[in-house]
């Protein structure tokens, strides 16, 4: 698989997803907010809805890779398994359990794969190994906490042109997602020939506190990337990312767009997505009030990797017109009706996934946003979301695009 994402709207050829599993059943009323959920999903229905979402992509010719399956194949290599489990256990503050996991003495490889997502409690560890291990973290029950957000595969990594960004998650509860996806990108034969331009395992200087998540990264064109400075992505990170992109020769401009650092707008793609060249969907309550925009360009007087930060004088719509090199059509969430826009924003109406120009997957429930899109010539593929939406993410959040076909001249 040669990675190639030059924009947000050309025909999607391949994508990585992560089907939700046993980690969802770890959620309770008491711990759901710790794990960044507002409610407790019903797993079987959640899986049915996710399966229907994947089927909709396959019906339109999209090749789908399952991250969990790819990780299982990657972990068959003992060297890779040792390195990954060392990272996982050290990050969780439980290095004492590493050797029991690496050797597969007490768990089969399929069981280990479940454990990496669902976590393990001290009692479960004792039942399997006969050993008692305390924890250094806040939770006296979980040795390895679960990662129930892992079905939002957009955030751990994002492809920019023919390279990848390995994210650095803002909340500790999501760090393991990055470790698992990075192991696949670096070591699975399907992907290992590609490069990681930011966040590779050999780049410790790019680790926390330089946080960035995939939902904040939007590919405007072959030359330009838009990154939200949000609750989850730091401005300092965007500068380092720009330097790396320039050094790798992938793009010419990186835009830093400040959005409110609030949970309700956790990523840029919760308030702004692209459905075709020159056609965007946005939540105007946020996007019409953007005032802080900076542009990074390569400093010609530097060493070839330096990024020059320039305060933008253009408005955001003008930037989009220039980068798309065409007229701009802005579609407001819920058609601009303030009351319904607020309702549908809560259920990720703006988080549409374009799988081809003016062909997007959306949640059925966001009827007024769907109507607004269709009024502008966008065909919407609606999917059920009574459970998917409980994690506060939409179709774009649930995908990591790997390759889009270039537009025909």
Q: Within 10 Å of residue 30's Cβ, how many Cβ atoms?
A: 7
Give the DSSP per-residue string, 308-364.
EEEE--S-HHHHHHHHHTS--EEEEGGGG-HHHHHHHHHTTTT--EEEETTEEEEET
Can you read off the two tokens belonging to residue 121? 């409690």
**φ, ψ (nearest 5 deg) of residue 339:** -65, -50
- Of 89, 197, 245, 397, the catalytic one is 397
CA distance 163 to 165: 7
Region of residue 387 (left: phi > 0; alpha: psi -120 to 50; beta: else): alpha
Cα→Cα distances 123→26, 127, 129, 135, 407, Å: 14, 6, 10, 12, 55
Q: Which residues contact 182 (CB under 8 A, 6 or more apart)?
A: 156, 157, 166, 196, 199, 200, 201
Q: Integer distance in angstroms from the first to the last C-alpha of the chain?
A: 24
Contact 184, 196 (CB under 8 A): no
Contact 57, 355 (CB under 8 A): yes
3-state secondary structure of 240: helix
> How does 257-285 read in b/e, with b if 16+ C-beta sit within 10 Å?
bebeeeeebbbbbbbbbbbbbbbbbbbbb
Can you read off the two tokens belonging to residue 167? 């994210």
**What angle in degrees, to the nearest 10, is found between the helix axes of 67-74 and 109-118?**
130
Contact 268, 257 (CB under 8 A): yes
Q: Is 245 a catalytic residue?
A: no
Strand order across the 63-66 sheet: 63-66, 12-17, 400-404
Can you read off the two tokens belonging to residue 203? 């780049």
Positions marked active-site = 397
């Amino acid at each position: 698989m040669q990675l190639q994402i030059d924009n947000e709207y050309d025909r999607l050829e391949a994508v990585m997803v992560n089907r939700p599993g046993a980690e969802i059943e770890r959620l309770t009323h008491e711990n759901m907010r710790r794990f960044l959920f507002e409610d407790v999903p019903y797993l079987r229905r959640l899986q049915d809805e996710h399966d229907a979402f994947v089927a909709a992509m396959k019906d339109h010719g999209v090749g789908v890779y399952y991250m969990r399956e790819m990780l299982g194949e990657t972990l068959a290599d003992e060297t890779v398994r040792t390195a990954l489990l060392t990272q996982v256990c050290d990050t969780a503050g439980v290095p004492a359990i590493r050797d029991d996991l690496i050797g597969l003495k007490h768990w089969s490889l399929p069981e280990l794969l479940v454990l990496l997502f669902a976590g393990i409690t001290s009692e479960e560890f004792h039942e399997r190994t006969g050993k008692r291990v305390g924890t250094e973290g806040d939770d006296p029950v979980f040795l390895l906490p679960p990662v129930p957000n892992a079905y939002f595969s957009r955030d751990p990594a994002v492809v920019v042109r023919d390279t990848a960004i390995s994210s650095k998650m803002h909340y500790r509860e999501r760090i393991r997602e990055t470790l698992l996806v990075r192991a696949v990108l670096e070591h699975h034969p399907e992907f290992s020939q590609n490069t990681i331009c930011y966040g590779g395992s050999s780049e410790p200087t790019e680790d926390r506190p330089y946080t960035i998540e995939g939902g904040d990264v939007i590919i405007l064109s072959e030359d330009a990337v838009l990154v939200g400075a949000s609750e989850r992505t730091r401005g300092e990170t965007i500068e380092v990312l720009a330097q790396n992109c320039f050094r790798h020769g992938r793009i010419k401009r990186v835009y830093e767009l400040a959005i409110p650092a609030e949970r309700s707008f956790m990523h840029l793609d919760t308030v702004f997505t692209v459905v075709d060249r020159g056609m965007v969907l946005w939540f105007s309550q946020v996007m019409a009030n953007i005032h802080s925009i900076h542009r990074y360009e390569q400093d010609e007087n530097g060493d070839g990797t330096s990024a020059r930060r320039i305060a933008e004088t253009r408005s955001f719509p003008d930037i989009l017109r220039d980068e798309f090199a065409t007229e701009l059509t802005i579609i407001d969430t819920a058609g601009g009706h303030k009351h319904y826009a607020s309702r549908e924003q809560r259920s990720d109406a703006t988080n549409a996934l374009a799988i081809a120009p003016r062909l997007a997957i959306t949640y059925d429930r966001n009827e007024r946003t769907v109507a607004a899109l269709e009024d502008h010539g966008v065909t919407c593929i609606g999917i059920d979301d009574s459970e998917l939406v409980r994690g506060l993410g939409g179709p774009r959040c649930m995908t990591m695009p790997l390759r889009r076909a270039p537009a025909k001249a």
